[in-house]
Amino acid sequence: MGETVRFILDGEQVEAEMGVTIWEVANGRGLKIPHLCHKPAPGYRPDGNCRACMVEIEGERTLAASCIREPSEGMVVRTANPRATQARRMVMELLLADQPDREAAHDRSSHLWDMAGAQGVSDSRFPALEKERIPLLDDSHVAMRVNLDACIQCGLCVRACREVQVNDVIGMSGRGHDAYPTFDLADPMGDSTCVACGECVQACPTGALMPASVLDEAQQGDSRDYDSETKSVCPFCGVGCQVSVKVKDGRVKHVEGVNGPANEGRLCVKGRFGFDYIHHPHRLTVPLIRREDAPEKGLNVDPSNPWTHFREATWEEALDRAAHGLADLRSFYGGTSVAGFGSAKCTNEEAYLFQKFIRQGFGHNNVDHCTRLCHASSVAALMENVGSGAVTASFNEIENADLAIVIGANPTENHPVAATFFKQFTKRGGQLVVMDPRGQALKRHAAFMLQFRPGTDVALLNAIMNVIVEEKLYDRQYIEGFTEGFFEFREHIRAFTPERMNELCGISAETIRAVARAYAGASRAMIFWGMGVSQHVHGTDNARCLISLALLCGHVGRPGTGLHPLRGQNNVQGASDAGLIPHVMPDYQSVTDPEVRALFRHIWRGTEISENPGLTVVEIMDRVYRGEIKGMYILGENPAMSDPDVEHARKALAQLDHLVVQDIFLTETANFADVILPASAFPEKRGTVTNTNRQVQMARKALDAPGQAREDWEILVQMARRVGLDWDYDDPREVFDEMKMSMRSLHHITWKRLATESAVAYPCSGPDDPGRSVVFADGFPRRAGRARFAPARVTPPAEMPDDRFPMVLTTGRQLEHWHTGSMTRRASVLDAMEPEANCSLHPSTLRSLGVEPGGLVRLTTRRGSLVVMARADRAVAPDMVFLPFAYVEAAANILTNPALDPFGKIPEFKYSAVRVEKADAAPVAAE
């Protein structure tokens, strides 16, 4: 405890921390003071406007709002005397007078009715508001309903929107009794700039703002009318938001944010409103086997009518066929004729089982997953120079920083909940530096926006470091104590002057100097990065620069400092930790190390691990194309959409002798399958997952899988037994316990702890330690505890624009869609919000092409061509086009360049030379 005050609360002497309110002290002691405009949740400041929480303070003429009033020394407070109780009941009655009756309430179980009930108030003596003054229903939004006749003007929605999520859409318009929340001043919600995070709905205490899924046509509903409520983790991105899933009659009714360590109760549109993909009629509910008389393999299956290509099979038959097909290839051609792609959408236990299946069952390491297409280059650079691939600090550490760089990441769309913390940081005066060729949404919050040329990160970062070195702004003590290679690095960096690098990256020398001084001068600074850094042929060099930059200034290892590659999939950190990587076993232990192989020989009962590092995603596809790999097992990945130069990948998949796909939908990849195994979706299974912050969390089963679909780990065990492995796991917990035998990162993290505690981060030092947020305060897991400066040279993208392909194509994501669209295009709200394939071009470019915004353009690269609707977007540079990769009818990867980074083996998704033309035809699938 810091400084304290002593006061009398309901006759008892109480000691409380300074700055804590009377309401909080009372609440902590079990006293129930009603509250409406006050939301006791992280991020919500008390406002004291509704008067529902009034208490008496001796010597004061008027009652005081306890939610906002802090006790002072010697104060005498009464919360339950007749004057306070009667006043509070009066407030409640006045509020109820203006509400629909309980029977007609929008939310019969709203917080308001709870509070009224707690005070024994059920209706009102006061006359209701004149009807004509009640604003009408606003049902313009697909996911939320606004019924302002229930609004009590408490302003919680405004605080939710402005202060918690920092979206600034909701404000109060009008005065006094006529003050109501409005969206962008006066728009209907559905037409406003609202990003549908639903924070306001979660905050509203009266049901004036509600999830549409809870209301009937008469705008009535009951937020507590569900059969079960399960605490789990969101299935979308690596932030790892905790959710509460409410299920009624076997269907998810609505989802709310839970106070997990990463999200503190917040969610984004996908986590809150994107859940119903699991109920889509396309869900796989029975095992499928390709028909003898099926048409030739191709992208030609209709997911709503797969029967032309596939027939239903029993689990027995399908598992036999799936496993024996792989085993036959093994005995005929040898184990290396079979390879596997595991999933970052499944649990840690499932990832572990998958890599074990390939390594133990087929005697090699040709097993990989989407991390290869994602942060492989970042991890390569981190492993090489820091000695560990995970983040050095949680993103929430931004709370303690003065400055943060966000480079090549677009968190408002891709890590929206993390972005809320970034935006709050700037509101508190933190300096945000955004480095991105696109004028993305964080620009508005940035102290410096460096909109530089794509593919020139090394030039820009080296110039910044040149300034730090030339002006001696570096942290000498830190460099001496914790690093190696500084002298060579210092020599190397001299050539990269801001003036010279300006010609490459387009940022003025002056701005480069200002940013260098700001970062070096900050007492605590963090660096966040994403795909704009990693998905280049020089992705590893880009990440090396970021590491060197942090080391130069000693911005690692202290609160508010660190290196944080924002991890993408909900469990990509965990899947990587679990060994779903071709050159390392669980916990990044090299397959080339004889001691490591001996350890696994022991744990895996005599299995010999191959000492040859395996092939990566794109390398595996190449071997498939060349006919060297003849069988594949693909779990929860959709390479027929997500691989670069996807026509090549699709041709490869079509050539496989035997393809087993385990998914929840008949994906583009499953189009090429011989056997399709129907899996349970995330809310339908149990297991642990690890988010971008290294926090391990428990995912729990909220409902049963449809039809005969089974949990992925169960299917894996059945498959393993059929290829001759002696697996006898009966529960994911047994798998987790086995993982602990080889994974030091899981020390002190037990299944039992995860079942009862909110989360445990690694590294964790003891049974009561929640795990470390910041690591490497005392050195690095490398030789002599030192991190290394790795000089990086400027290399151009693999394919530069020329006369035939004069513009730059960049690909990426949109808020509402997930990767290949398999899930989100089947989520009703998300699909309604973003229904059509689109690309973005600068308005001046559209004009010169003679294309109206919303018109069609043809995009052509050396790999292929497609037609897509074009939006006008000033954020995109005039010589660039941005294309998301979620739409099968205009699949971005038909166009992308498969050229690889030599270290991370990641393809250059962020840069291809492209020709853009006006198109007249209706959008057609790729040709």
Does 786 contact ligand MGD by CB under 6 A?
A: no
DSSP of 579-600: T-BTTEEGGGEETT-HHHHHHH
Nearer to ligand MGD, 346 or 790 (CB): 346
Choose between 349 and 436: whose C-beta lies nearer to ligand MGD: 436
CB of 664 to ligand MGD, least distance (A): 5
Select the binding partner of residue 896 from ligand MGD, Mo ion, none (C-beta < 5 to 8 A, by kind): ligand MGD
Preceding omega of 565 cis (within 30 degrees of 0): no
CB of 715 to ligand MGD, least distance (A): 8
Q: Which of 924, 909, 916 is nearest to 375 (CA)?
A: 909
Binding partner of residue 455 among ligand MGD, Mo ion, none, CB under 5 to 8 Å per kind? ligand MGD
- Cα 843 to Cα 821, 840, 876: the distances in Å are 27, 9, 9
With contacts defined by CB under 5 A, name the span among 374-382, 629-637, 744-752, 866-874 that binds Mo ion. 374-382
Q: Does 662 bind ligand MGD (CB under 6 A)?
A: yes
- Indicate whether 436 belongs to the interface with ligand MGD (CB under 6 A): yes
- Is 418 a binder of ligand MGD (CB under 6 A)? no
Our finding on whether 374 is near Mo ion (CB under 5 A) is yes
- Choose, by CB under 6 A, the member of 261, 361, 430, 530 that binds ligand MGD: 530
Q: How far is the CB of 191 from ligand MGD (least distance, A)?
A: 22
Per CB under 6 A, 819 contacts ligand MGD? yes
- The reply on whether position 565 binds ligand MGD by CB under 6 A is no
What is the nearest approach in angstroms of Mo ion to the Cβ of residue 910?
12
Which of these, 710, 773, 825, 738, lies nearest to 557 by C-alpha position? 773
Strand order in the sheet with 562-565: 448-450, 431-435, 403-407, 525-529, 562-565
SS3 content of the chain, % helix, strand, coil (to 5): 35, 20, 45
Q: Which two tokens stand for residue 240?
A: 């790892």
Judged by beta carbon distances under 5 to 8 A according to partner kind, the member of ligand MGD, Mo ion, none in contact with residue 204 is none
Q: Which part of the chain contacts ligand MGD (CB under 6 A), choosing from 208-216, 661-669, 722-730, 731-739? A: 661-669
Please give the DSSP secondary-structure letter assigned to residue 161: I
Half-sphere exposure of 745 (CA within 13 A, CB side): 24
The closest of 145, 253, 259, 133 to 198, measured between CA atoms, is 145
Of the residues 65, 322, 635, 749, which one makes contact with ligand MGD according to CB under 6 A: 635
Distance CA 642, CA 640 (A): 6
What's the distance, CA 368 to chain centroid? 21
* Least distance from ligand MGD to the Cβ atom of residue 672, Å: 13
**Is 455 a residue that touches ligand MGD (CB under 6 A)?**
yes
Contacts of 168 (CB under 8 A, 6+ apart): 161, 162
Displacement of CA 129 from its chain's centroid (Å): 44
Task: Annotate 469-490 with three-state secondary structure.
Answer: HHCCCCCHHHHHHHEECHHHHH
Phi-psi region at 631: left, alpha or beta (left = phi > 0; alpha = psi -120 to 50) = beta
CB-neighbour burial class of residue 728 (10 A; exposed 0-12, middle 13-18, buried 19+): exposed
Does position 435 interact with ligand MGD (CB under 6 A)? The reply is yes
Please choose which of Mo ion, ligand MGD, none residue 457 contacts, taking the beta carbon within 5 to 8 angstroms, the exact cut-off set by kind: ligand MGD
Rank residues 498 and 907 by Cβ distance to Mo ion and give the closer one: 907
- CA 289 vs. chain centroid, Å, equals 34
DSSP 869-926: EEEE-TTS-TTEEEEES--GGG-GGGT-EEEE-TTT--EETT-EEEEEEE--SPP---
Contact residue for ligand MGD among 165, 348, 426, 440 (CB under 6 A):
440
Number of residues in contact with ligand MGD under rule CB under 6 A: 61
Scanning 200-208, 603-611, 756-764, 818-826 for contacts with ligand MGD by CB under 6 A, the matching segment is 818-826
Using CB under 6 A as the binding rule, whether residue 407 contacts ligand MGD is answered as yes
Determine which residue in the list 5, 318, 531, 552 makes contact with ligand MGD, applying CB under 6 A.
Answer: 531
Residue 38 interaction partner, one of ligand MGD, Mo ion, none, beta carbon < 5-8 Å per kind = none
Helix axes 594-603, 732-742, angle to 10 degrees: 150
Binding mask 363-402 toward ligand MGD (x if CB under 6 A, else -) reads -------x--xx----------------------------
Interface pattern 597-636 for Mo ion (x via CB under 5 A):
----------------------------------------
Binding residues among 636-655 for ligand MGD as defined by CB under 6 A: 636-639, 642
* Residues in region 36-95 near ligand MGD by CB under 6 A: none
Q: Is 475:551 a contact under the CB 8 Å cutoff?
A: no
State the binding string over 141-160 for ligand MGD (x if CB under 6 A, else -). Answer: --------------------
165 contacts: CB under 8 Å, gap ≥ 6: 197, 199, 266, 420, 423
* Interface with ligand MGD (CB under 6 A), residue from 237, 527, 546, 703: 237
DSSP string, 499-511: HHHHHHH---HHH
Q: Quick one: what does residue 910 bind among ligand MGD, Mo ion, none, with the CB cut-off 5 to 8 Å set by partner type? A: ligand MGD
C-beta of 337 vs 440, nearer to ligand MGD: 440
Query: For ligand MGD, what does the binding mask look like between residues 591 and 620, x meaning CB under 6 A?
Result: ------------------------------
As measured in angstroms, the least distance from the Cβ of 909 to Mo ion is: 10
- 8 A C-beta contact, residue 453 and residue 506: yes
342 binds ligand MGD (CB under 6 A): no
In whole angstroms, how close is the CB of 473 to Mo ion at the nearest point? 34
Report, in Å, the least distance between residue 788 CB and ligand MGD.
23
Give DSSP secondary structure letters for 782-843: SGGG-EE---------SS---SSS-EEEEEE--TT--TTSTTGGGSHHHHHHS-S-EEEE-H
- Applying CB under 6 A, does 892 fall inside the site for ligand MGD? yes
Of 221 and 568, the one with the shorter C-beta distance to Mo ion is 568
Taking CB under 6 A as the rule, does residue 839 contact ligand MGD?
Answer: no
113 CA to centre of own chain: 35
Q: Closest distance between ligand MGD and the C-beta of residue 642, in Å? A: 3
What's the CA gap between 374 and 363, in Å, rounded? 26
Tell which one of 345, 364, 786, 825 touches ligand MGD (CB under 6 A): 345
According to CB under 6 A, which one of 21, 263, 569, 691 is a site residue for ligand MGD? 569
Amino acid at position 803, single letter: D
Contact 340, 501 (CB under 8 A): no
**Interface with ligand MGD includes 893 (CB under 6 A)?**
yes
Q: Which residue from 207, 221, 498, 532 is in contact with ligand MGD, where contact means CB under 6 A?
A: 532
Question: Nearer Cβ to ligand MGD, position 156 or 880?
Answer: 880
Alpha helices in 190-290 (DSSP H): 199-203, 269-273
- Tell me the C-alpha distance between 664 and 699, whole Å: 17
Q: Which stretch binds ligand MGD (CB under 6 A): 137-145, 218-226, 688-696, 814-822?
A: 814-822
Q: Which residues bind ligand MGD (CB under 6 A)?
A: 237, 343, 345-346, 370, 373-374, 407-410, 413-415, 435-438, 440, 454-455, 457, 530-533, 535, 568-569, 635-639, 642, 662-665, 667, 679, 681-682, 712, 810-813, 815, 817-820, 822-823, 885, 892-893, 896, 909-910
Q: Which residues bind Mo ion (CB under 5 A)?
A: 374, 568
